[in-house]
Amino acid sequence: MKVLSANSNRNLAKEIAKLLDMGLTNANVRRFADKEIFVSIDENVRGQDIFVIQSTSFPANDHLMELLICIDALRRASAMRITAVLPYFGYARQDRKSEGRTPISAKLVANMITTAGADRVLTMDLHAGQIQGFFDIPTDNLFAGPVLREDIRKNYGTEKLMLISPDVGGVVRARGIAMRLGADIAIVDKRRPKHGESEVMNIIGDVEGRKCILIDDIVDSGGTLIGAADALLKQGAIEVSAYCSHGVLSNGAATRIAESKLKELVITNSIEQPQKVLDAKNIRQLSVGPLLAKAIRRISNEESVSALFD
């Protein structure tokens, strides 16, 4: 068994390899002068069970192409089995035709990963669970829920706690964590008047006097969380924090979060963050390295992955 890292999340890949008691596979993922990507695998991988760690985070297209080319190189080097490990699966929000004449890019990306030669996929907190069905190869979708839940218990306790889904689509996710913490849930009725903009219509549930924690899969511009925090405080919440699996944090989101009424935003390291985010006073990062390492070990040993969440 071997672990190979492309360039999107080398720190997480190193952490995973260390937890698995091995080094990263010697490989070089670099650019030609015209920015074409070139990969060389610098050790024998014939007959190996290989896990390629690469989130398709910003810049999504470059990182996706790096992943595809790594898989191609491994296939041509006679690896026995190739698992594409995407701690963050980009393009996931394009999982349906939201209007006429638009693509389903998540399906296209799934096809590309399969065609490149991946035998299986390991990912985490897919934007919608059904995206697993876009792959015709085995796909394991891990949940960061247990990692987030234990941090909530440790840092916020359960008294007066209320978990909040920032939209109707996230209710199952918030409820899963709330049930195990014995907390209530409320729902934000969110509308998207335009692409990239969100508007809070209503809060479903009584949040007065509650410590509110928003649970979401992705924080991108931060608009959803910031709008929800303002509305919750207006309805009498004592404080509002947020836990999100994937810190996409594009276009100055970290600054907007720092200037917002959110007490704290907690994300995982599924996406590698620039120093500015790591230094932000109200953003904290949890590691999903141990979760991914356990899942990789189990896949390699042909053991149950779902048992990790029993």
**Catalytic positions:** 190
Cross-strand pairs, 164: 186, 214
Cα distances (angstroms) measured from residue 55 to each of 146, 217, 280: 21, 15, 22
Give the total residue count for the chain: 310
Six token digits for residue 30: 């670099």
Distance of alpha carbon 95 from alpha carbon 107, whole angstroms? 7
The answer to whether the beta carbons of residues 219 and 246 sit under 8 Å apart is: yes
The distance of Cα 167 from the centroid of its chain, to the nearest Å, equals: 18
Distance of alpha carbon 152 from alpha carbon 243, whole angstroms? 9
Of 27 and 214, CB closest to ligand R5P: 214
The contact mask relative to ligand R5P for 153-182 (x = CB under 6 A, - = no) is -------------xx-xx------------
Stretch of residues binding ligand R5P (CB under 6 A), selected from 48-56, 146-154, 174-182, 218-226: 218-226
Contact between 92 and ligand R5P (CB under 6 A)? no
Of 162 and 215, CB closest to ligand R5P: 215
Reading phi first (left if > 0) and then psi (alpha if -120 to 50, else beta), residue 273 is in: beta
Contact between 87 and ligand R5P (CB under 6 A)? no
Write down the least CB distance from residue 108 to ligand R5P, Å.
19
At position 154, the amino acid (one-letter code) is K
Of 48 and 260, CB closest to ligand R5P: 260
Write down the least CB distance from residue 268 to ligand R5P, Å.
15
Report CA dihedral (233, 236, 240, 245) to the nearest 10 degrees.
-90
Cα distances (angstroms) measured from residue 128 to each of 79, 89, 132, 163, 218: 31, 11, 8, 20, 11
Q: At which residue do the structure tokens 């390899």 appear? A: 17
Six token digits for residue 14: 């190193």
Could you say which of 15, 95, 217, 272 contacts ligand R5P (CB under 6 A)?
217
Contact between 219 and ligand R5P (CB under 6 A)? yes
Of 125 and 140, CB closest to ligand R5P: 125
Strands (E), the chain: 2-5, 27-31, 37-41, 49-53, 81-86, 120-124, 139-142, 161-165, 184-191, 199-204, 211-219, 239-247, 265-268, 283-286
Write down the least CB distance from residue 129 to ligand R5P, Å.
13
Contact between 222 and ligand R5P (CB under 6 A)? yes
Contact between 273 and ligand R5P (CB under 6 A)? no
Of 183 and 219, CB closest to ligand R5P: 219
Could you say which of 9, 56, 221, 268 contacts ligand R5P (CB under 6 A)?
221
Could you say which of 15, 66, 125, 220 contacts ligand R5P (CB under 6 A)?
220
Write down the least CB distance from residue 47 to ligand R5P, Å.
41
Could you say which of 117, 176, 205, 223 contacts ligand R5P (CB under 6 A)?
223
Write down the least CB distance from residue 91 to ligand R5P, Å.
12
Write down the least CB distance from residue 127 to ligand R5P, Å.
6
The contact mask relative to ligand R5P for 180-199 (x = CB under 6 A, - = no) is ------------------x-
Applying CB under 6 A, which residues contact ligand R5P? 166-167, 169-170, 198, 216-224
